[in-house]
Chain A
Amino acid sequence: MHGVKRRQWTKDQLKQKKEKDRMKIDVYSSLVNSTLDRRDKNDHSLTALEDTTKLLDMNPEFNTMWNYRRDIIAKLKTELPLQFWDKELKFIMVQLKKFPKVYWIWNHRIWVLNNYPGSPASVWERELDIVSALLEVDARNFHGWHYRRMVVGKLENITGKSMDAGELAYASKKINNNISNFSAWHQRVQLIDRMFANGEIEDRKEFMEKEINYLTNAMFTDAEDQSVWFYINWFVNYPLVQSILGKEQYIRFLESMTTNILMINDDDIEFSGSDNSWCLKILLVIEQRQKELSPGFESHSVQYLEKLVVMDPLRKNRYLHLLSKQ
């Protein structure tokens, strides 16, 4: 159970609950038994389908019942009218809204869409709108993001057209709404990497420069949240950044990052009296690159690490480990 407040039951409340439960248990368990009997007799009728509807409405986590339902649908496939499939998607949506984190329900939905007669692009396009709406409700639901990648992949397969650029715009929108939406930052990395790999970016240099502006703004917007810093860690180490910008410009990029991060850190010192641990952690990453590129680079890493040992004691053994390697 996640996030359910502990409850103290009084004797009376407990008695009432047990009475109510007794009736519910009777109805539920007799329907479970009769439906499993039908299944054992290979009953693939509409009545059996209806029984699974009733049961899954009571308990959408009953995966064996979803399995039976799929077997029935697969058997009846040629007889079922088109409306059936839309009704099925509606039924699943009711369950998903109640239980947005139940794997079985997401799994059933993708199965239904894959088996939808003709599996036309229009159905998957509608699905993309639906998953966008679900991610409005919870922008970090990883089921939702995973599902979105599947839906997009399917649409790309059907149409033969990459949707990367549009999806990157979507990820940006999500980040702009909430800068600590790491799910969207994660997606940004996937898309940028793929767009470069597939030659989808025309002016590669311009793209990189825009990305540098984007992440610089982000880090000034919220320097406390680790999402943007994990992204910066990726970007600084992403081999294409150096190869596209060229060594000289890449070194200048690292220098300007350092200046900006030190500025953020100085603001924090002025405001709260202490360094920003993420600023120091990422300065370490940047210095690592600078040391590799410029022999004789004057490093501050030992100093940063010694500060981190004191100011971020939860992780002090990591810093001591890094110190031992300096």
Chain B
Amino acid sequence: MQLLKEKHIAYVKSLDSHTDDYEYWLSEHLRLNGVYWGLTVLCILGSPETFDKDDVIAFVMSCWDDKYGGFAPFPRHDSHLLSTLSGLQILATLGGLDNVKKDQLKLSQCLKFISSNQLEDGSFQGDRFGEVDARFSYNALSCLSILGELTPEVVDPAVNFVLRCYNFDGGFGLSPGAESHASMAFTCLGALKITGKLHLLSPEQIDMIGWWLCERQLPEGGLNGRPSKLPDVCYSWWVLSSLAIIGKLEWIDYEKLTQFILSCQDEKRGGISDRPNNEADVFHTVFGVAGLSLLGYKDLVPVDPTYCMPYSITATFQKYGLY
């Protein structure tokens, strides 16, 4: 089976026209994330102009949270680190970062929102209500990296916390003591990569991480997120990007994984699902397509495993330590 590029482009384009579906309204809390996922699909497929750039930037800015700073997932919702990263990723991709960077008030509010959510042990809460998760560490560090505002005051304790999420089996958990989960390998390794701190993991740990990650591949080719779990296309991204970050991408079988991702395409309506014959969504579409890009599938735009954005964009980010 081939990658149905045109179908996927049409699928992403159609997403915002489903306003007569109740589910569309129920998913407002993920809208900005959804726009980032859709835009990234289009970028990797080489069709970023499918979205109207000005409309998208205007929508992102309408999600700005005046009260707390940062981006909410939807106008009138509250800001959160998850949606703040999506907002900045979209702006960076579309060349609209100056909307935040050149607006002194917004920039300072944004930086304050991020740093005020860092807790004493270096971890981050997603917002003022105290939920701690390594995902939020990644969000915060990635945001600051995109803005070129990483500082040792934030980075050093943050890295300390992320390292504590490393487990005996070579995986990472959402907090110290939590079970390893492939998505946390991405967030923790990504956080270390962004801050130039990967060397804090020993060669033995890197080998152990590679082992745990490559054991996620199942005989049918797909990857799971934890032992004894079913394969799922989104782990193509979480596992592959992690392997790419530690330079061990070839520890899994490319061909079999490629076939698994392609078998999850909706041939009629476009989009990719978690497993064959399931309902497609934009989340699995981006991680399927981004996974294929990492696997070197033909005619796809190269994607940066650390940021899940095109290399052409992330190459413009300042490298921490070289500011």
Residues of A within 8 A of B (CB): 1-7, 18, 20-22, 24-25, 28-29, 32, 36, 58-59, 61-64, 67, 70, 103, 107, 110-111, 140, 142, 145-146, 149, 180-183, 186-187, 189-190, 225-227, 230, 233-234, 313-315, 317-318, 321
Contact = CB atoms under 8 A, between A and B. Distances in A.
Contact of A1 (B129, B178, B227, B274): B274
Nearest to B20: A18
Given A313-B253, A317-B250, 10 more contacts: A1-B278, A6-B278, A22-B20, A29-B25, A62-B29, A64-B78, A110-B130, A146-B178, A186-B169, A234-B169
B232 A64 contact: no
B177 A225 contact: no
B317 interface: no
A230 B227 contact: yes
Interface stretch (B40-48, B85-93, B211-219): B211-219
Given A70-B129, A103-B131, A186-B180, A6 B279 contact: yes
A43 to B, nearest CB: 15
B178 A314 contact: no
Contacts of A61: 26-27, 29-30
The 7 closest A-B pairs by CB, nearest first: A64-B77, A21-B22, A4-B279, A107-B131, A182-B227, A186-B179, A314-B253
B263 interface: no
**Is chain B's interface secondary structure helix, strand, loop, or mixed overall?**
loop
Name, among A58, A181, A318, the residue most crowded by chain B CB atoms within 10 Å (CB to CB): A318
B26 A59 contact: yes
B179 A182 contact: yes
Contact of B20 (A25, A29, A149, A187): A25
B25 A28 contact: yes
Contacts of A36: 76
Contacts of B279: 1, 4-7
Nearest to A186: B179
B261 interface: no
Contacts of A182: 179, 226-228
B: contact size bracket? 35 or more
A180 B177 CA distance: 19
B251 interface: yes
B18 to A, nearest CB: 10
Contacts of B177: 149, 190
A35 to B, nearest CB: 10
B283 to A, nearest CB: 8
Contacts of A4: 278-279
**Is chain A's interface secondary structure helix, strand, loop, or mixed overall?**
helix
A315 B226 contact: no
Interface in B172-199: 174-175, 177-181
B278 A3 contact: yes
Contacts of B275: 3
A20 B212 CA distance: 47
B118 to A, nearest CB: 18
B168 to A, nearest CB: 5
Contacts of B30: 61
Nearest to A319: B251
Contact of B251 (A1, A142, A181, A317): A317
B280 A6 contact: yes
B22 A25 contact: yes
Contact of A21 (B21, B72, B252): B21
Contacts of B217: 314-315
B228 A314 contact: no
A58 B29 CA distance: 14
A142 B129 contact: no
A190 B165 CA distance: 12
B22 A63 contact: no
A150 to B, nearest CB: 9
Contacts of B76: 36, 64
Name, among B80, B127, B177, B278, the residue most crowded by chain A CB atoms within 10 Å (CB to CB): B177
Nearest to B24: A25
A7 B250 CA distance: 36
A31 B269 CA distance: 33
Contact of B226 (A21, A140, A146): A140
A238 B146 CA distance: 40
A142 B21 contact: no
A227 B127 contact: no
A63 B273 contact: no
A61 B253 CA distance: 37
Interface string B151-179: 00000000000000001110000110111
B38 interface: no
